[in-house]
Amino acid sequence: MNLETRIRTDVEARIRSGEWRPGHRIPFEHELTAHYGCARMTVSKALQALARSGLIERRRKAGSFVAHPHVQSAVVAIPDIGQRLMAQTGAYRFELLQRHVRAPRRQSAAEAALHCTGDLLMLDGVHHAADAPFGIEHRVICLSSVPEAAAADFSAADPGAWLIGHMPWSDARHRISANAANAETAALLAIPVGAACLQVERWTWLAADGATGAGVTYVKQLYPGDRYDLVAEFKP
């Protein structure tokens, strides 16, 4: 293990073990430099990495301090559904129910948030696991941002997986909520009307120069509450 990593993990271990509590001043750079017998640059890089990850705060003249935990935040992995189902159950199939192209509708807040002027490709489909429908997906793709999508064959390919391979990096916003199944949803998912469902909405934009740019896609996924959990691991 290289020196920078060793210094970083040493300091991190003391913080995570609780030995150095929030507010504690960790040794000055020159003290760590002496302790590890290295150049200040090496210590500095280790501490800067800890500062970037939010574990410590650094103040000129004052020193470096163990940061106070702030907001509870978690990195939620929202995985490729097909990949996940194949790994867990060995079976996955995407069924396309509907496909059509139309102009955006002003009264739809979800579509308006993409601020897309060109035509939209609308896809509705069901994700199937081995034995039962797993979730339904309503997707909107901005053809002005992803023109290749017009010619793509989604009759069996998960649009999410297709887009990941064809879309450049972007900004996104997620909204996670709980919803009762309406009649249509219930029929597609083979669950009772009113059953609790987990709803995941995602808007994706191209980002340009730090500002949010052209919309790429909007997707609303609905999963029966008893068949799907979002699990998040995090290190604060």
Q: Contact with a copy of itself (CB under 8 A): which of 130, 150, 164, 187?
A: 164
| 133-142 vs 170-180, strand pairing mode | unpaired
Q: Please state, in angstroms and rounded to a whole number, the distance separating the CA atoms of residues 6 and 204.
A: 38
**C-alpha distance from residue 142 to each of 126, 150, 158, 163, 225 (Å):** 21, 10, 17, 11, 30
Contacts to a copy of itself from residues 23-52, by CB under 8 A: 45, 49, 52
Among 62, 103, 112, 132, binds DNA (CB under 7 A): 62
Q: How far apart, in whole angstroms, are the C-alpha atoms of residue 112 and residue 215?
A: 10
Identify which range of 61-69, 76-84, 107-115, 221-229 contacts DNA by CB under 7 A.
61-69
Tell me if 80 contacts a copy of itself by CB under 8 A: yes
Q: Using CB under 7 A, which of 10, 16, 34, 39 touches DNA?
A: 39
Range 18-37, binding DNA (CB under 7 A): 28-30, 37
Q: Which of 69, 89, 150, 155 binds a copy of itself (CB under 8 A)?
A: 69
Q: Select 75 or 151, whichever has its Cβ closest to a copy of itself.
A: 75
| CA distances (Å), origin 127, targets 82, 188, 189, 215 | 8, 10, 10, 24
CA atoms within 13 A on the CB side of 55: 21
Tokens 């994700």 — which residue?
Answer: 127
Binding stretches for DNA (CB under 7 A): 2-5, 28-30, 37-42, 44, 47-48, 51, 58-64
